[in-house]
Each structure stands twice: as C-alpha cells, then as structure tokens.
Structure 1
Amino acid sequence: MIPTAGSPASIRAELTVPLRADGWATVARVFTFDGLVDGREHLAIGLGSYAAAVHGVPPDGDAPLVRLHSECLTGDVLGSERCDCGPQLREAMVRITEVGGYLLYLRQEGRGIGLYEKLDAYTLQDSGLDTYQANLALGHGADERDYSAAAQMLRTLGVGRLRLLTNNPDKAAQLTAAGLDVAERVATDVHLSAANAAYLTAKERAGGHALDVTTALRYL
C-alpha cells in the first residue's frame, strides 16, 4: 500500500554516531524510517537529551527543539557561500545539543527541485533573477518543499509538541496543518556574507522569512 501523509511510519533502524567539527563534538542518535510518504531517505538526528533510543527519552518536560533542514550539498558539504545552509546546519546542531531535540535532515535539495536544477537556477541568478524567480523561470514552484514526511517522522519519534528552530513561517504552518503543536518558533541567526546578501534579501522580502538583512548589512 502506498503511504499517505496521514499514514504511520516506523523506525527502520537507529544507531549512535559520534560527531566532530571545528572543535565541537557530541554523540548523536540517528534514526531511519520505513513508510514515509515521499519514499525518500530522510534522517532524524537526536541530539542532547534526545541522543538515546526513543523508549529511553522521557515523554514529559519541555518540548524538544526541532530543526527541519533541507539538504544542500553545495552549502552543507562544499561550504558554498551562495546560501546560508551550511552555517544554519552547524548552528542548529550546536543549539539543539544544548537543550535537547531533533534535527531532521530532509532530502529536498534546492527547495525541492533537485541538485542539477538548483545549479541551473544559480546561473539564472547570475543573470539577475532572485532565487525564487529563478525557480519559477525553470518551471518549478518558488518553493516545492513538502513537510508531510517530517510530520510522520516526528510522530513516529513520539513528538507531538515542539519548539521549531526556523525563520521560515511555511515550516511551522505545514507542521501545524499536519496536526503537530508548534509551541514556539525560535529564530536562527542571520548568516550574512557578501556572497549571499541578495539571496537572504530575497528570502526576507519574497519568502516571508523572519530576517532583518538590512540591519545585518550594517555590520558586514
């Protein structure tokens, strides 16, 4: 049977993974899943007090801090400064480790259009389009990401109430529509550089992200 957005998922496997980067280190619990609605290989990474088997995590207490992070090979792996994805990923892992929660690493490259099309969009941005206009020019939606699988993953992990680490109101709206209780939206830092200033400005103005790029530019 093909899973739907309301279908339950199950934990396929879980394992402990030690992490280290730039002098920061922790031990994470990585979860894989069966039955996700989009069939992709998304990961949930338990950090801090949630870096344990699901049955070992106390169900009570503060809502976990959760970050939905869409895959970005160029930013996360190669360190590209055309976006803020790499710094956001690092920030999220550090902050979630401090208070406990999950980072969901979602295989939705290029806001859902894929790696090659994202790079095609970059060439259009070099000709003057912003990041959203470039996606539209390629025949895609401005943002094609769907967080139904993320909602499934959280429910499978026993998370019904959460604090969401994001500047993107669409993430909170989609999780709420899926029946999860987003108790708080926690802002991420503004990771501004000369190379991504136009990109962040577009996210603020066209994407409705909670960013104050104008103020950040004063300190660039």
Structure 2
Amino acid sequence: MAEVRARVQLNVGQNSDIPAEIISFQGLNDGHEHVALVFNEADEKQQTPLIRMHSECLTGDVFHSSRCDCGEQLNECIETMHKQGGVLLYLRQEGRGIGLYNKIDAYVLQSQGMNTYEANNHLGFEDDLRDFSDAVLMLQALGLNHVKLMTNNPRKLKALRDAGITVEEVVGTQAHVKVGITGNKGYLETKVTHGEHMLDIKKITKTGE
C-alpha cells in the first residue's frame, strides 16, 4: 500500500476558497481511484484528526441534485475541516455502490413513488453495496489509527471499528432540508427509518431560503 502526495493548493468547497492537499493511493482492493483531501496538515499535526468517508455523488456533489443532501454534507464537512483540520476520504462509490447509470435508473423509480432503498432493490441490488475496506487501507497508509469520525451512518462507524481503527468520537452532520423541494425531506427520513442513520430530522438546516 502506497500513497502519492500532490502538494498543490486546491481550492475546494462551496465558495472554492479553502486550501487542501490531495493524496492518491496505490494498491487498493477495488481498483477505483479513491483520494484523500487533507486540511491544515491534520494527518501530520493531529494525533486524533477528524475524518470523513464521503461516497462520491456526481449528481449531488457537482450538480446539486434535489434528490439528496450529499453536496450539502460535503460542503459542511469542508467548512468544518477548514476550521479545525481533518482528512476527507473521497470514495468512488456512486449510488451506494450501484454506479451512476443505475442510480439514474433508480431516479426514475423514485419519481414513481419508491424510496431510494426500494428503487435499488427493484433494480436487483441490495440496500447498500458499499465496502469501506479501502477507506481503512487509506487511513492505515496515512498512519491514522485513532480518529474522530464525521458521519451519521452506523455502517461506516462499524467498518472502522471492526478493522481495528479506534474511533474516539462521532461527529454528526446536519439534516439539510431543501426548502421548496419535493422529496428531499422524505429522503432524509428514509435514511433514518430504513438505513438507521443517526440523524435528527427535527434539527434541520434549511437551504434555499
């Protein structure tokens, strides 16, 4: 397992003015090109840095889809790590692992009344196909065995602990409800009721007002 660091100042986030260092990795299991973004040299300066495992969402992260809150979570993470340092693992796991084209097919089914899990199941997929073993390898390559984890997803927490990574604190992201967007709140509620995400729908951050 090896890493390649590009000490180039990337400007990321909603306002594209936050510097970060990008790291690529060799020897990962699934063959995808996952990367890490490091803020404020947290991997070298902090004994227990804040980390986030963020699964790629082209429609949400880049095109600000109304179907999810992925882009808002990503921006929240970047803003937080800009202030206190952290390591963002950007994992190429589109659509909970089913891929971009299948996710678009799932969008069609969601328009017909299915929730995200039902749509994936209807297409022949399990609820969530993501495997976080490569994220563990990335953390180990960076020498990070004690972390604080930014997530609402209990599967991510379990994956790290099962692999021997000590998670000393879990930091939740907010519930980003988009004002005037049909289905966005329902998507978040489904993550809580079906996916058992540790998300407090009552404490929402409204966007788009």
Q: TM-score, normalised by structure 1?
A: 0.87
| 1:1-220 matched pairs, under 5 angstroms | 9-23=1-15, 25-50=17-42, 57-58=44-45, 61-193=46-178, 194-195=181-182, 196-214=184-202, 216=204
Distance in 1 separating the partners of 2:7 and 2:205: 42
Q: In the TM superposition, what whole-angstrom CA distance separates every residue of 1:59-115 from its partner, at most 9, and x where no partner exists? A: xx5510001100001011111121000011111011012111100000000000000
Distance in 2 separating the partners of 1:13 and 1:24: 21
- Note the C-alpha offset of 1:121: 0.7
Runs of 4+ in 1 over 6 A off after TM superposition: 217-220
The unaligned stretches of length 5 or more in structure 1 are 1-8
Contact 1:167 1:187 in 2 (8 A): yes
Contact 2:50 2:86 in 1 (8 A): yes
- Note the C-alpha offset of 1:162: 0.4
Distance in 1 separating the partners of 2:203 and 2:82: 29
Q: Which amino acid aligns with 2:195?
A: G
Distance in 1 separating the partners of 2:12 and 2:198: 30
Contact 1:164 1:172 in 2 (8 A): yes
What is the total number of aligned residue pairs between the two structures? 205
For the aligned residues, what is the CA RMSD?
2.0
Q: What's the secondary structure of 1:31's corresponding residue?
A: strand
- Note the C-alpha offset of 1:17: 2.6
* Greater alpha carbon shift after TM alignment, 141-150 vs 10-19: 10-19
Q: Percent identity?
A: 44
Cα 1:22–1:200 change in 2 (3 A) is closer
Distance in 2 separating the partners of 1:41 and 1:204: 30
Q: In the TM superposition, what whole-angstrom CA distance separates every residue of 1:164-205 from its partner, at most 9, and x where no partner exists? A: 000111101011111111111101011112331111110010
Distance in 2 separating the partners of 1:214 and 1:133: 24
